[in-house]
Amino acid sequence: MKSIRLEIFIESGCRACASAMYSVEKVQSELQIHVDVYRRDTDSEEFRKRRVFITPAIFIDGVLVFYGEVSAEDIKKKICDVCSE
């Protein structure tokens, strides 16, 4: 598998963010990939730079692929799509 860059943008107190983070952590564990986590309260500059207004937001290789709650299976499918390109 090629090296995949997975990023998630979240904020505290957001139930959808907690759910998406759980899915991301599951994928990270299963596929042994690196995940960068950005939090609105500590990484606001990255939020502005990437134009993230809605959380959670998930990027794969720098491309926004999901907003909102997402399952681990959907994330893995998208990673497989990226790997096959």
From the list 78, 85, 67, 81, the residue with the least C-alpha distance to 27 is 78
Residue 1 located in a structural domain = no
Q: How far from each other are the two terminal CA atoms of the chain, in whole angstroms?
A: 11
From the list 22, 52, 23, the residue with the least C-alpha distance to 38 is 52
Domain span at residue 39 reads 6-83
The model carries a pTM of 0.92
Query: In this structure, are residues 26 and 76 in contact, taking their beta carbons and an 8 Å threshold?
Result: no
Residue 74 located in a structural domain = yes
Residue 35 located in a structural domain = yes
pLDDT bin (cut points 50, 70, 90) of residue 75 is: very high
Residue 44 belongs to a domain with what CATH number?
3.40.30.10
Query: In this structure, are residues 34 and 61 in contact, taking their beta carbons and an 8 Å threshold?
Result: no
pLDDT bin (cut points 50, 70, 90) of residue 83 is: confident
Domain count, the chain: 1
Query: In this structure, are residues 15 and 43 in contact, taking their beta carbons and an 8 Å threshold?
Result: no
Residue 11 located in a structural domain = yes
Count of residues in the chain: 85
Residue 55 located in a structural domain = yes
What digits encode the pLDDT tens for the residues 21-40?
999 999 999 998 999 999 99
Residue 48 located in a structural domain = yes
